[in-house]
């Protein structure tokens, strides 16, 4: 399975966190569920993905709507697809959280020592709507953690140089649209700024761009809407039972 892991998270926090990549072949390792590809091919790739990491019996994702709705999951088994969510949180070992991306930024959250993980899908609308703040509020409400306990990583997505936007996107994300335009927006920079304002304890970001590094990744912008989808994932594997 072609993928990129967040460096050090497996060793530091005991969590599996990363994103699938394009891989080889015409369609590569496309995990988009809304595709013209034959169902058998799509499901074969998904089965390979689900088998790639031991210790997970539940996989949680959603039909994403570019909003700010975040749900806490107390349990999950099999493969569950919810409606109208763009963020997930859990403290349950053996549950893997998933979001699909192809330019939008996957936001990974972990609370070291408390077993809490989170994953958010942040395009410009989710960023403007405060999905990160919603997730932090929900996490703090459901646990003993505070914002300073949370570690955040902004994953692989489109960079500011490749993300050309209109004035409504700039102002929606709190950036002045000065000059005649068009403008360029760095979503990861905006999310990092939000994280620091919220008081998160540790914040990092990927340097990869899904658009200008498109040979390795899928990009909605770079393909003019024709590309596949990657899956970002995070979870704490369940302990193996003794023989």
pLDDT tens track, the chain, 243 positions: 899 999 999 999 999 999 999 999 878 999 998 777 888 998 999 999 999 999 999 999 999 999 999 999 998 899 999 999 999 999 999 999 999 999 999 999 999 999 999 999 999 999 999 999 999 999 999 999 999 999 999 999 999 999 999 999 999 999 999 888 899 999 999 999 999 999 999 999 999 999 999 999 999 998 888 889 999 999 999 987 655
In a domain, 62, yes or no: yes
In a domain, 156, yes or no: yes
* Strand-by-strand arrangement of the 151-154 sheet: 70-73, 87-90, 116-122, 105-111, 151-154, 202-205
pLDDT of residue 243: 52
User: Which of 50, 51, 33 shows the shortest CA–CA distance to 42?
Assistant: 33
pLDDT of residue 242: 53
In a domain, 240, yes or no: no
Token pair, residue 115, equals: 């077993």
User: Three-class SS of residue 134?
Assistant: helix
Please report, for the domain that includes residue 213, its CATH number: 3.60.140.10
Question: How many domains is the chain built from?
Answer: 1
User: Locate tokens 């403290």: which residue?
Assistant: 91
In a domain, 137, yes or no: yes
Which residues make Cβ contacts (< 8 Å) with residue 39, sequence separation at least 6? none
CA-CA distance, 186 to 157, in Å (whole number)? 10
Owning domain of residue 218: 3-235
In a domain, 98, yes or no: yes
User: Three-class SS of residue 79?
Assistant: strand
Which residues make Cβ contacts (< 8 Å) with residue 221, sequence separation at least 6? 103, 158, 162, 163, 211
In a domain, 105, yes or no: yes
């Amino acid at each position: 399975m072609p993928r990129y892991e967040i460096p050090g998270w497996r060793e530091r926090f005991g969590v599996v966190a990363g994103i699938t990549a394009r891989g080889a072949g015409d369609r590569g390792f496309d995990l988009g569920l809304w595709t013209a590809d034959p169902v058998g091919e799509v499901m074969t790739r998904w089965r390979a993905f689900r088998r790639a990491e031991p210790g997970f019996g539940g996989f949680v994702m959603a039909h994403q709507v570019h909003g700010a709705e975040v749900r806490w999951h107390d349990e999950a088994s099999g493969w569950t697809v919810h409606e109208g969510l763009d963020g997930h949180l859990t403290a349950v070992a053996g549950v893997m959280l998933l979001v699909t991306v192809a330019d939008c930024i996957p936001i990974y959250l972990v609370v070291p020592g408390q077993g809490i993980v989170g994953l958010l899908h942040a395009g410009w609308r989710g960023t403007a709507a405060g999905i990160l703040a919603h997730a932090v509020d929900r996490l703090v409400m459901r646990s003993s953690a505070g914002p300073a306990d949370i570690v955040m990583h902004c994953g692989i997505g489109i960079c500011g140089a490749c993300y050309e936007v209109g004035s409504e996107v700039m102002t929606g994300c709190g950036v002045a649209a000065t000059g005649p335009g068009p403008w360029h927006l760095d979503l990861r920079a905006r999310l990092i700024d939000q994280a620091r304002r919220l008081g998160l304890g540790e914040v990092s970001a990927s340097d990869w761009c899904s658009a200008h590094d498109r040979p390795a990744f899928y990009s909605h912008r770079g393909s003019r809407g024709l590309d596949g989808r990657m899956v970002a994932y995070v979870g704490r594997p369940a302990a193996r039972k003794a023989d």
